[in-house]
Amino acid sequence: MPQDLTRDLIDLIERGRDRQLRLAVTGLSRAGKTAFLTSLVDQLRHAGLEARLDLLGASREGRLLGAQRVAQQDLGVPRFPFDQARAALAESPPSWPKPTKGISELRLKIRYRPGSQGWLRPDTAELTLDLFDYPGEWLLDLPLLEHDFLSWSRAQIDDVGLSRRDMLADWRAEMATLAPDDDADEARLAAISEHYAKGLRAAREAGFSNLQPGRFLLPGELDGAPVLQFFPLTGLNDWTPETLSALPDTSVYATLAKRFGYYQSHIVRPFYRQHFRRFDRQIVLVDVLGALNAGPERFEDLSQALTRLMQSFNYGSRSLFSRLFTPRIDRLAIAATKADHVTPEQHTRLVSLLEALLAEPLKNLKYANIPVKAFSLAAIRATEAREVNHQGRTTPALKGTSLTGEPLLSFPGEVPTHLPDASFWARQGFDFGAYRPLPATPGALPHIRMDAALDWLIGDKLR
- Residue 400: strand pairing partners: 408
CB of 379 to Mg ion, least distance (A): 11
Query: H or E stretch including 292?
Result: helix 288-294
How much is the CA Rg of the chain, to the nearest whole Å?
24
CB of 26 to Mg ion, least distance (A): 12
Tell me if 371 sits within 8 A of 331, measured CB to CB.
Answer: yes
Q: What 3 state SS string does 226-260 have?
A: HHHCCCCCCCCCCCCHHHHHCCCCCEHHHHHHHHH
Nearer to ligand GTP, 150 or 450 (CB): 450
Task: State residue 105 phi and psi, 5-degree precision.
Answer: -130, 165
Provide the CA 402 distance to its chain's centre, in angstroms. 25
Nearer to ligand GTP, 53 or 382 (CB): 382
CB of 133 to ligand GTP, least distance (A): 7
For residue 461, the partner it binds in ligand GTP, Mg ion, none, with Cβ less than 5 to 8 A by kind, is: none
Nearer to ligand GTP, 195 or 436 (CB): 436
Site string for Mg ion, 6-35 (x = CB under 5 A): ---------------------------xx-
Nearer to Mg ion, 32 or 213 (CB): 32
How do strand 393-401 and strand 407-410 relate by DSSP bridges? antiparallel
CB of 280 to Mg ion, least distance (A): 22
Assess 100 for contact with Mg ion (CB under 5 A): yes
CB of 203 to ligand GTP, least distance (A): 15
187 Cβ contact partners less than 8 Å away, ≥ 6 residues apart: none
Assess 156 for contact with Mg ion (CB under 5 A): no
Binding residues (CB under 6 A) for ligand GTP: these are: 27, 29-35, 96-97, 99-100, 135-136, 337-338, 340-341, 378-380, 382, 434-435
What is the rounded distance in angstroms from the CA atom of residue 386 to the CA atom of residue 377? 18
Nearer to ligand GTP, 72 or 100 (CB): 100
Nearer to ligand GTP, 280 or 340 (CB): 340
CB of 204 to Mg ion, least distance (A): 14
- Phi-psi domain of 207 (left: phi exceeds 0; alpha: psi -120 through 50; beta: other): left
| Residue/partner pairs of 173-177 with CB below 8 Å, 24 or more apart | 175/233, 175/234, 175/235
Q: In what order do the strands lie in the sheet with 384-390?
A: 384-390, 393-401, 407-410
Site string for Mg ion, 31-50 (x = CB under 5 A): --xx----------------
Give 266's DSSP letter: I
For residue 196, the partner it binds in Mg ion, ligand GTP, none, with Cβ less than 5 to 8 A by kind, is: none
Upstream peptide bond of 93 is cis (omega within 30 degrees of 0): yes
- For residue 162, CA distances in Å to 86, 158, 221 come to 41, 11, 33
Site string for Mg ion, 58-97 (x = CB under 5 A): ----------------------------------------
For residue 378, the partner it binds in Mg ion, ligand GTP, none, with Cβ less than 5 to 8 A by kind, is: ligand GTP
Q: What angle do CA 191, 192, 193 make, to 5 degrees?
A: 90
Write the single-letter amino acid at 38.
T
Assess 337 for contact with Mg ion (CB under 5 A): no
CB of 400 to ligand GTP, least distance (A): 8
What is the rounded distance in angstroms from the CA atom of residue 212 to the CA atom of residue 290? 20
Q: Which stretch binds Mg ion (CB under 5 A): 98-106, 305-313, 315-323, 420-428?
A: 98-106
Nearer to Mg ion, 33 or 259 (CB): 33
The crossing angle, in degrees rounded to 10, of helices 296-313 and 359-367 is 20
Provide the CA 340 distance to its chain's centre, in angstroms. 18
Give 460's DSSP letter: G
CB of 308 to ligand GTP, least distance (A): 17
For residue 31, the partner it binds in ligand GTP, Mg ion, none, with Cβ less than 5 to 8 A by kind, is: ligand GTP
CB of 382 to ligand GTP, least distance (A): 4
Write the single-letter amino acid at 211.
L
- For residue 269, CA distances in Å to 123, 146, 273, 317 come to 43, 11, 6, 18
For residue 434, the partner it binds in ligand GTP, Mg ion, none, with Cβ less than 5 to 8 A by kind, is: ligand GTP
Assess 104 for contact with Mg ion (CB under 5 A): no
Nearer to Mg ion, 31 or 144 (CB): 31
Q: Which stretch binds Mg ion (CB under 5 A): 75-83, 100-108, 294-302, 331-339?
A: 100-108
Which residue's C-beta sits nearest to ligand GTP? 136
Nearer to Mg ion, 34 or 346 (CB): 34
Kindly provide the residue ranges of all beta strands, DSSP E only, lying in 113-208, ordered along the sequence.
125-133
Nearer to ligand GTP, 37 or 236 (CB): 37
Nearer to Mg ion, 285 or 444 (CB): 285
Give 198's DSSP letter: H
CB of 2 to ligand GTP, least distance (A): 50
What is the rounded distance in angstroms from the CA atom of residue 292 to the CA atom of residue 350? 11
Name the site residues for Mg ion (rule: CB under 5 A): 33-34, 100
